[in-house]
Amino acid sequence: RGVMELVLFHIVTAGLMYCLVRCILTHPGAIPDAQGWEIQPESQDTGEVAARQLLETKHTGERRHCKWCLKYKPDRCHHCRICNLCVLRMDHHCPWVYNCIGFRNHKYFFLLLVYAAADLVIVSLTMFDTVWWSTRIDVPLALMTTLVVGEAFVAFLTVVTMTFLGFHVWLMAKAMTTVEFCEKSLKSSSYNSSAYSAGIYRNLCAVLGPNPWL
């Protein structure tokens, strides 16, 4: 039994480390430098024509643009002041990976939460037996206290991580990002409507792709 638990723990941990590295090193996605995205002089500006194909525009009907990057913004694109970059389908800036979570690395961030939650559940369950027996047999008080505190800490992290994971599953099912969630909460609008929703299955595939585990 111990060998099986050890193998399972290391398999999940390997997936966690892989997704952590990919989440840190993968560029979140930015507005291309190609012609048509950079702000043009008024004489050459085709913003109003292009804006008709976008869902997100200014209140005047013109294309959104970034005053720092000096580029037009596609739908769901937001500027991160920490990265100094306009990120495609920006979800949020994550200080734990020191990177923005966007179009290209959102999948690795989500899988990082999945593997982290799985690892914590494994640790919590396998450690519980040890904690249980430490209260039933003669062991040093310091050791028993350490085990109990450790189990309580792991249980706390499990609840926090599972809650955070559940929140992101809900966002994916609704075809929303964290940025859009905050914008909707400020506007007090309904969370049941999203202009980008294509059904739960397609919404999940839009982030996870055809191979959801790696």
Quote the CA–CA distance of 100 and 27 in Å, as a whole number: 8
Give the E-state strand segments of the chain in sequence order. 65-66, 71-72, 78-80, 85-87, 92-94, 99-101
Residues 49-60, mean pLDDT to the nearest whole number: 70
Q: Is 182 a catalytic residue?
A: no
One-letter amino acid for residue 66 of the chain: C
Q: Going by DSSP bridges, is the β-strand pair 99-101/78-80 parallel, antiparallel, or unpaired?
A: unpaired
Quote the CA–CA distance of 70 and 24 in Å, as a whole number: 26
Asked if the model's pLDDT at residue 120 lies above 90, the reply is yes
pTM: 0.87
Q: Which of 69, 94, 100, 182 is catalytic?
A: 94
| Chain segment 62-99, per-residue pLDDT in tens | 888 999 999 999 999 999 999 999 999 999 999 999 99
